[in-house]
Amino acid sequence: MHVLKVALPLPLEPMSYLPPHGGEGAALGHRVAVPWRGELRVGVVVGLEEGERKGFALREAVAYLEAKPWLRPEEIAFLQAAAHDSFSPLGSLLGDLIPFLEPPLEHRVRLLPGAAPSLLPRGMEALLDWQTARGFDPKLLDYLREAGVLEETVAERRTVRRVLVPRRPPDPSLSPKARAALETLMELGGSQSLTELAQAAGVGMGAVKALVEQGFAEWVEPELEAPPRPAPLLGGLELDPFPPRLEGGRLAERIRAILGLARRERLLVLFPEVWLLQHFAQHLPQAVRFHGEMKPQERRKIWERLGAEPPPELVLATYQGLLLPFTPDRVVVVEESSEAYKLSAGSRAFVPRLAALRARMLSRPISYVSQVSSVEVWDQASHTLPTAKPRLYLLDMRQEQGWPLCGAALALLRQVAEKGRQAIVLSNRRGYSALLRCQRCEWKAMCPNCALPLRYHKGGRTGLLQCHQCGYEEKAPLLCPNCQADVFDPKGPGVEWLLESLAAWVPELPRYRYTAQAKDDLDKLLLGEPGVLVGTTALLRGPTLPELALVLLPYADGFVLESDFRASERYHRLLWSLTDLHPRRKPLLALQTFEPGQAAHKALETADAAGFMEFEWALRHSLGYPPATRMVKLEVSHSKEPVARDAAERLAEVLRAKAQPGELLGPAPAPIARVRNQYVFHLLLKAGEARLNELMAGLPPVRGAKLRLDPDPQSFVGLLED
């Protein structure tokens, strides 16, 4: 007798169950409903084992959800290898990569025929016939299940959404009201209900019903996802052979390269964010799209379709596409250095690393397509698309006057207004300023829960102080709580401060805000009217301004002053992405900076991205940092600082006994030593692949504090989520 190894989307390793009673036997890769702590959960059978001796102690799975496997053996093997590579329970990674695994269930139960009705607990006599499980006490159902007297059926509950669409044009047989309803339906393209159409057309329900009865309209199931917005057709860029690393050029040229490759190879193309996927999809309408903004039911349908139909030629996906039942000829990772590829919870895996593992296990090549490649893939053979020299203007704030906008920057903005063009002003923070400080006694508004200053948001009588880590808020004081002075000195310009300064110094230029939290109506800008758009890096995912002439960073250094060895590389990548904000124009990139000689600035001045990357590559290798080694961050936290410190030190003692010089860094307080009332300490392990696995093997539990692992860390600020 085979025993099923079932992986649930929980931070657990696979668990053992007997096959469903009276159903099929072992079914590797199938979705299966199993009892778990008084409820039914859906998992995947990821392994089989012989279990005659211990079968009596195991519980039975309830039912398989489909007749076909959900995962093929190659996907199961990848899932197991990826969990090991991420130092994560297999269930955590399963929940990350298939968060839509568990559908709503139609669960029906009854007493097993032939069993004595007296076995039923009081109040459950209805179970003599089939009943919906909802409404019965899960614990009592579990009791009957363990006793072997409960018969169950489980199926996915599917909801069919239908849309009313026009079927044929109007003719003289229609009444005037029915004709008006049909013309309205044709303008709308579809209606969710008869009532909605009747209201839109201003007619009664009878006229709308007549359209369906007479065959002028019909109910259809809509497409899983709306087709991408059409875009001008691009000719494919043929590169033969296609390189492992493609960089440079405009975004349109990189899309052309993938288009040319898709004509001769079956591709799985991975993206860090949905907005970028949708941008590519406009030029690749033949592609199957798969991403987290689709409804779970839509993703499950695509999953089933890919497993049943002939494989598509092109799949565009975010990280959830890694486990699709689809074997490409090549895996392509777009913008592989994006921090959005880092899973923020669960396994905390870094998707480009998993993509490389997936390609290797399928014996397929992998290619990276980016404007600027990451240091991690710099050793790959490359092809660089022609890149025009950026227009760069460095404003040395050691010599310029004025803050937060110096005189030269204001002159540029006035030129934009005079010529009727558009500008972007980019800040690294929302709100008014990074902190609020007293000019007399140096008092600063600090968060009571985090070792961070409160961000100042101007508005109302006094304004608001807010922590962007934990969400704590309080009103800004009228007087300094320490010395009662009434003169405050805000530091670090945010979006609100820049909007205020622009209103005072360049009032002729209309102003608009664009952050992840607040987006103004940009219709006038998109029509080409002059204006300035002030916002955070959310602007990079926003619409293209047709008359963009200037991109200004009032405090450019704020993007690079981070406690992170990747900060310079991240800043370098940001600057190059700003040069590509418009598909045809080359807007002037103006940087207010106290370090005009910074390496990233020199790279833009000379249009030499490769020179910067070679320097970073050499620096990382000289220090033994990734990619010279692999790194894992161990985060120890507790609400009491001595407890967190002692736990981190005890863990370090165990690791020091195994580590060689340079392989263990810390323990040390995190860059933000306290976050959400938790004191945080970091230990960093950096070593080669084999050595790192040795160091992580048998990692002891941390008593009295919480330990979280972060493989291939992309950030060192904040608190890791559970």
Beta strands (DSSP E) in 167-261 are 217-220, 245-248
Per-residue pLDDT at 55:
46
How confident is the model over 480-529, as pLDDT tens digits?
888 988 877 777 888 999 999 999 999 999 999 999 888 999 999 999 99
Per-residue pLDDT at 173:
85
Q: Decide if 229 contacts 244 (C-beta within 8 A).
A: no
Q: For residue 131, give both structure tokens.
A: 């009943």
pTM of the full structure: 0.88
Per-residue pLDDT at 341:
96
Per-residue pLDDT at 52:
60
Q: Decide if 371 contacts 111 (C-beta within 8 A).
A: no
What percentage of the chain exceeds 90 in pLDDT? 58
Per-residue pLDDT at 387:
87
Q: Rounded to an integer, what distance in angstroms lies between the CA atom of residue 721 and that of residue 708?
A: 9
Per-residue pLDDT at 278:
92
Q: Decide if 436 contacts 456 (C-beta within 8 A).
A: yes
Beta bridge partners of 48: 4
Q: Decide if 94 contacts 86 (C-beta within 8 A).
A: no
Q: Rounded to an integer, what distance in angstroms lies between the CA atom of residue 437 and that of residue 430?
A: 18
Per-residue pLDDT at 223:
64
Q: Which one-letter DSSP state was computed for residue 406?
A: -
187, 328, 663 from 309: Cα distances, Å: 34, 14, 49
What stretches in the chain show pLDDT beneath 70? 1, 22-25, 51-56, 223-232, 460, 722
Per-residue pLDDT at 53:
55
Q: For residue 629, give both structure tokens.
A: 């080694």
Which of helix, strand or coil describes residue 9? coil
How confident is the model over 167-206, as pLDDT tens digits?
888 888 888 888 889 989 888 888 888 888 988 888 888 8
435, 436, 444, 487 from 479: Cα distances, Å: 15, 12, 12, 8
Per-residue pLDDT at 42:
95
Give helix 176-188 / helix 205-213 axis angle, nearest 10°. Answer: 80
Q: Which one-letter DSSP state was computed for residue 480?
A: -
